[in-house]
Amino acid sequence: MTVYGIVAGGPKALLPCLKNQPVDYWIGCDRGSLYILEESLPLFQAIGDFDSVTAEERQRIKQHAKHMHLFPADKDDSDLELAVKSIHQQPEDTLIFYGITGGRLDHTLANLALLKRLVKRNIKAKMIDRYHTMDVYVPGVHKVQLNPERYISILPATEKVIGVTLDGFKYPLVDRTLEEGSSLTLSNHLLTIEGSISFTKGILIVISAEDQETF
């Protein structure tokens, strides 16, 4: 299994420490390429129109990227979609997205919708930022690990999600149907080291979240 880390140009303050991430190949989208280089990580591929970097920064990216693909600013696909299309992934590979939240709301929603589309195509994909991890699940049984500092919220991503069972949670469910927009499964907690989420039809978004720092 190969893990590709795709870094977009969202607010740097929301990035986790990239050096600690389980990634085999780093791919930068526009300014995300700089974020990778700033952590002294190998930049396997840089892709995008690079309209958010200076000429000097672009030159730095060009010097350090193993592969660089420059696209015009006027294009049909976002930089993130171009990055996904450039990867010849195998069924067991995983795409982890960083830097796709916290900027413009329309960009954030489009980026999260992209994850849902990927999972529908049987591509393993997830999002990680400083305060959240988001997985998109298809029907089956999915294991969830305890993190005492985090809530777990489970959100229907289709009109209905059928047969939802939560095992090991403070607020368990057995064979429930969740409707899109329901808040029933917000802010749950695990009571055991490992819990499970299972369902038979639909798509679920599972978010592990901690409160953001306030100043």
Q: How far is CA 65 from the centre of its chain?
A: 22
- Amino acid identity, position 122: N
**171 shares its domain with 105:** no
Residues 154 and 204 in one domain: yes
pTM of the model: 0.90
The answer to whether position 214 is within a domain reads no
Is residue 40 located within the same domain as residue 81? yes
143 and 126 housed in the same domain: no
CB 125 within 8 A of CB 188: no
What does the pLDDT profile of the chain (215 residues) look like in tens digits? 899 999 999 999 999 999 999 999 999 999 999 999 999 999 999 999 888 889 899 999 999 999 999 888 777 788 888 888 888 777 788 999 999 988 788 888 888 888 888 888 888 899 999 999 999 999 999 999 988 889 999 999 999 999 999 999 999 999 999 999 999 999 999 999 999 999 999 999 999 998 766 54
Compute the Cα dihedral for 16, 21, 27, 33 and give only its sign.
positive
DSSP 26-81: EEEETTHHHHHHHTT--EEEEEE--TTS-HHHHHHHHHH-SEEEE--SS-SS-HHH
Asked if residue 65 and residue 19 are part of one domain, the reply reads: yes
Q: What does the DSSP 8-state code read for residue 117?
A: H
Residue span of the structural domain in which 12 resides:
3-130
Strand-pairing partners, residue 31, are none
Count of domains observed in the chain: 2
Alpha carbon distances (Å) from 148 to 122, 197, 207 = 30, 18, 14
